Each structure stands twice: as C-alpha cells, then as structure tokens.
Amino acid sequence: MILVDANLLLYAHDSRSAHHKKALEWWRHALTTLPVVGIPLHTLSAFLRIATHPSVLDRPMTPDEACMVVQQWFDVESVRLISPGSRYWTYLSQVLKDGQVTGALVSDACIAALALEYDATVYTNDVDFRRFDIRVEFPLRAGA
C-alpha cells in the first residue's frame, strides 16, 4: 500500500503549480494501476484546509468543489481512507522521540506513524520525510 502526502494532491489539482503536470500524471497513474492507494486522514484534512484557503491559493476551491474532488478519489475502488489504528500511538511516540520532531513536522510524523502501522510507503514531494525510518518515494523527482 502507498500513503499519499497532501502536497502531491495539491499539485495535481492546482493548475498554477509548477509541479501540476507531473503530479497530475502521477496521480492518474496511481489511481488506475496501484492495488491500494491510501489517503491518510491527516492528508485529507490538509488537502481540504489548503485547497480552500484564500490566503494560500490564488484560486481556492469552494467547499463544494473540494468535496467533489475528494469524492471522485473515493469513488475509485483502490482508494482507502487510512485512519490510525490500535498501534498508532506506539508508532507516533517512537517517531516523535527518535526524530526529535517538533512544530510543523508533527504532521509529517503522523503520516510516518501510519506508514509504520500499515507497513506502507509514503509518496510525497517533502524531503523532511527522509528523517523517518520509513519507506518514502518522491515521484516528482527526476528519474522517479
């Protein structure tokens, strides 16, 4: 299973992003070829928060538009919403302590803990994930 970070989803849906074309191609490929595409609850909330925020995007989505986009993802059979399970806190506390994680990086640690709990690979464009002892892929980088 893969876990998708919000930055890839935002790039795929923001036509003004320099990463838009490659992110959209990757996202379409993931949706049509991978057996399980996990969207962490943290990713979902980050996408909705940023995609609808007028101070972040020149053309933010309305709540209706954002919900329609997300519903299209979940209409794909392979897409799953990934929530913390019974071992989540054990993994999260380990990730926080091992990486000396503070502040804004806590949200990345939450996704890293899910990756450990579900034995998943995180797909992102955020190099901060390298600090965690997890599998991580950067599909927008050259050679990816």
**Residue 143 has what pLDDT?**
62
Calculate mean pLDDT across residues 51-77: 94
Please name each of the domains of the chain with its CATH number.
2-137 (3.40.50.1010)
**Residue 10 has what pLDDT?**
96
Calculate mean pLDDT across residues 14-42: 96
As a whole number, the mean pLDDT across the chain is 96
Tell me the DSSP string of 30-88: HHHH-S-EEEEHHHHHHHHHHHT-TTT-SSPPPHHHHHHHHHHHHTSTTEEEE---TTH
- Tell me the whole-structure pTM to 2 decimals: 0.94
Q: Give exposure, 106-135, as e/b (b: 16+ Cβ within 10 Å).
A: ebbbbbbbbbbbbebebbbbbebbebbebe
